[in-house]
C-alpha cells in the first residue's frame, strides 16, 4: 500500500509542477491592430480608393440624369425609332454604372485584403515573439474569454512595445 502511495505521489508531482509553471496571457488584438501605424495608412488608402470610386459613380449618375433630361426636354417630335434609341442609350449608361459598382466592390475587397494581410502577419509575429520571450503557454484573445484568473498576464503592453506602439 505504501509503495502505491509513493508511486502515485511521484506520478502526480510533475503534473502539479507543470500546472504551476504554465503562464497564460490574454490580449486584445483589435485594440492593438487599430493602434498600429500601418492601420492608419491602410485606412487612408481605402478612403482614397473609395473617394475615387464614388467620384466616378457620381459622374455616371450625372451622365444618366443629363441624358434623361435632355431627352425629356427635346423639342422634336420623337419617332418610335428615336424613343428606342434614347432608351437604349440610357440602358447602356445604367449597365455601365451597375458593372462599375460591382467591379469596384470586388476591387475594394481585394485591395482591403491585400493591404490588411501584412498588418495581420506583423501583429501575429509580434504576439508569437512575446509568447516565446515570456514563456507563455497560451496567449488568448481577451474578447473571447468569459473569465481569466488574476494570475493571467495582460500581454497588450508587451505586444504594443514589441510593435513600437505607445
Q: Is residue 7 part of a domain?
A: no
Range of the domain at 34: 22-163
**pLDDT tens digit string along 108-127?**
999 999 999 999 999 999 99
Q: Is residue 68 part of a domain?
A: yes
Which residues pair with residue 26 across a beta bridge?
140, 154
Interatomic CA distance for residues 7 and 34, integer angstroms: 53
pLDDT of residue 8: 46
Count how many domains the chain has: 1
**pLDDT tens digit string along 9-25?**
565 545 544 455 679 99
Mean pLDDT on 36-64 = 95
pLDDT of residue 135: 95
Q: Is residue 158 part of a domain?
A: yes
- The percent helix, strand, coil of the chain (3-state, each to 5) is 80, 10, 15
CATH number for the domain harbouring residue 45: 3.30.910
Strand, helix or coil for residue 166: coil
Q: Is residue 13 part of a domain?
A: no
Amino acid at each position: 500500500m505504501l509503495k502505491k502511495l509513493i508511486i502515485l505521489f511521484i506520478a502526480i508531482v510533475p503534473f502539479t509542477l507543470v500546472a504551476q509553471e504554465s503562464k497564460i496571457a490574454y490580449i486584445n488584438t483589435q485594440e492593438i491592430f487599430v493602434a498600429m501605424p500601418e492601420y492608419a495608412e491602410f485606412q487612408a488608402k481605402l478612403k482614397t480608393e473609395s473617394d475615387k470610386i464614388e467620384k466616378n459613380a457620381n459622374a455616371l449618375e450625372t451622365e444618366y440624369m443629363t441624358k434623361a433630361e435632355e431627352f425629356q426636354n427635346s423639342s422634336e417630335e420623337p419617332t418610335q425609332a428615336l424613343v428606342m434609341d434614347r432608351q437604349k442609350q440610357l440602358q447602356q449608361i445604367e449597365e455601365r454604372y451597375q458593372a462599375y459598382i460591382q467591379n469596384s466592390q470586388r476591387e475594394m475587397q481585394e485591395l482591403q485584403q491585400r493591404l490588411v494581410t501584412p498588418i495581420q502577419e506583423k501583429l501575429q509575429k509580434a504576439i508569437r515573439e512575446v509568447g516565446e520571450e515570456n514563456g507563455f503557454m497560451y496567449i488568448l484573445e481577451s474578447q473571447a474569454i468569459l473569465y481569466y484568473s488574476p494570475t493571467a498576464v495582460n500581454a497588450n503592453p508587451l505586444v504594443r512595445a514589441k510593435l513600437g506602439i505607445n
